[in-house]
Structure 1
Amino acid sequence: MAARAGESAEHAADGGAAAVVLLREVGVRRYTTDQVILDAIDWTVRPGEHWALLGANGAGKTTLLRLLGALMHPTTGTVEVLGSRLGRVDVRELRTRIGHVTSAQRVPDDLGAHTVVLTGHTGTVQPLWRRYDDEVRQRAHELLAELGVKELADRPYGVCSGGQRARVLIARALMADPALLLLDEPFNALDLPSREDLIEALHHLSEGRPRLATVTVTHHLEELSPAVGHALLLREGRVLARGPVDEVLTEDRLTACFGRHIAVARREGRWAAWSSRPRDSYRA
């Protein structure tokens, strides 16, 4: 098995007792072709940890996130999310305690941002007005303010910018006060100012919710908030490395993950990565 970073004595000692996510020897196969999608995945996410999930297209990131979101079951191994093991729990109830944000979410364009956030209380696409009392409505306003978009309360979702939509969807996911927030490429198609606004909002979110755990799927290190302290690299369905970002997001490990030479820099908690030739090649 490939070398893995971040296997600390603490990890071995606690056995994941306080884990938000606990995966052991998890495998996923496609039944129709017997293709291996994920193989022998071990992973622990604890309260308050913020993880980046990275890998090339086809590495298995989406499948892994679906397991964490209780949207599918593993073929082999065990998956425990928020103390409940998949296969032994009503996943419909479990999903209500997990925040899941993706740009592919279906949201009616004519709904105002406040109404979109309200639907997170009922987990529905359309609002169920009788289920929203004054306390619930006020909570939706507070979440919009927490994400820095309170002025959008009455603006139709369809005319919000991409960055504004992302923050509205995160506010919606937080209506259930989840212990785990899954962010599936939340920066997709955002311009630079919108990206930076969202990074800042996520950083503030981490400061205000010290027990909230997050997992962010991204293709770009530049999209990682300074709050992201852990990373997991997937290559061809297997864990290449996992652990603290300083140990995982290295030139050698990213080069091995993506199959081409990757240079890495970090400044003031932010990351940058670019493809370049190995240093020795410049001496020719």
Structure 2
Amino acid sequence: MPHGFPVTAPPVLCVTDAAVVRDGRPILSEVSLTVRAGEHWALLGANGAGKSTLLSLLGAVAHPTRGTVEVLGHRLGRVDLRELRSYVGHVNPRHDPGSPLTVRDVVLTGLTNTNDRVPRWQPTPEQVVEADRLIGLLGLGERHGARWPTLSQGERGRTLIARALMPRPRLLLLDEPATGLDVAGREQLIERLDALQDTYPQLASVLVTHHLEELPPGTTHVMLLRDGRPLAAGPADEVLTSDQVSKCFDHPIRLTRTDGRWSVRASRPTARPDGPPPGR
């Protein structure tokens, strides 16, 4: 790790009154967020709420129009972004390797931060061993030689998580990782994400989704976004209430949690006891 990146310095992320304006239109407003080592945050909100824009700030991909963003103790605008990004694991389900790489090769590109293998670059034997360890950790041990076009959407997603972990980041960002997955693929993904907490207890993560069913049981904190503004943020059990989620999505919702997993249903009004009989 380069000089100046303290290993244990909290917080991992610190956003203060951040705003993003594009073409005169506010995309994000008054966003403040602190993420510490070992915390697992979810950004929830309807389509267009600003979740992915906020994630781009957290991943040092974009700058705020106003306010400050500190990633791994370094303020955006005062640090080499390319160097900083190499210590942030970013999982984008739309990632395209550009050629039919094997699972192992895709994971190894996490070291070069490129889509394809770098010409004449060769990993060390130790790096290959680490790639295979991560592939096994994500449940793909028998698929390390499979080529990208032959992988299911779920296998691709788990391959990209292994790729993001290859440089041993302190921060893992996941942009709607369950996009396009069937039920089995989604459950396998959630199971593996939850297991990472035991293997990497100091790793912080931020996951973007608009489906509460996609939240791993180990989610510790949540920020609800509506129209580019934080509606609520804090410990998951305090933020994820039927009332606040209903406000976030502008629809009456009943929220339940079973065995650590959240589920939602539309909240239907209760019929009045003295109301008219059915059919009248």
User: If the length of structure 1 is used for normalisation, what is the TM-score?
Assistant: 0.90
Q: CA RMSD in A?
A: 1.5
Name 2:46's counterpart in structure 1.
56
- CA gap of 1:251–1:159, structure 2 versus 1, over 3 A, is same
**Which of 57, 60, 67 lines up with 2:57 in the alignment?**
67
> In 2, distance between residues paired with 1:278 and 1:216?
32
* Structure 1 residues 49-198: aligned runs within 5 Å: 49-108=39-98, 110-128=100-118, 129-198=120-189
Partner amino acid, structure 1, of 2:257:
R
Question: Does 2:50 align with 1:19?
Answer: no
Q: Does the Cα contact within 8 Å between 1:18 and 1:46 map onto a contact in 2?
A: yes
Partner amino acid, structure 1, of 2:65:
T
- CA gap of 1:279–1:183, structure 2 versus 1, over 3 A, is farther
Q: 4+ runs of 1 displaced by more than 3 Å? A: 278-284
Q: Does the Cα contact within 8 Å between 1:109 and 1:156 map onto a contact in 2?
A: no
Name 2:278's counterpart in structure 1.
none
User: If the length of structure 2 is used for normalisation, what is the TM-score?
Assistant: 0.92
Name 1:241's counterpart in structure 2.
232
Show structure 1 runs of 5+ residues with no match.
1-16
Residue 282 of structure 1: CA displacement?
9.1
Partner amino acid, structure 1, of 2:157:
A
Deviations 1:197-253 (A, max 9, x none): 111100111111100011111111111111111110001111000011111110000
Q: Does the Cα contact within 8 Å between 2:221 and 2:235 map onto a contact in 1?
A: yes
Deviations 1:87-146 (A, max 9, x none): 000000000000001111122351110010011111111213534111111111011011
Quick check: which one's helix share is greater? 1
Q: Percent identity at matched positions?
A: 50
Show structure 2 runs of 5+ residues with no match.
1-8, 276-280
- CA gap of 1:123–1:240, structure 2 versus 1, over 3 A, is same
Flag the structure with larger Rg.
2
Question: Does 2:21 align with 1:29?
Answer: yes
> In 1, distance between residues paired with 2:271 and 2:13?
42
**Matched positions, count:** 266
Q: Does the Cα contact within 8 Å between 1:108 and 1:157 map onto a contact in 2?
A: no
> In 1, distance between residues paired with 2:228 and 2:198?
32
Name 1:218's counterpart in structure 2.
209
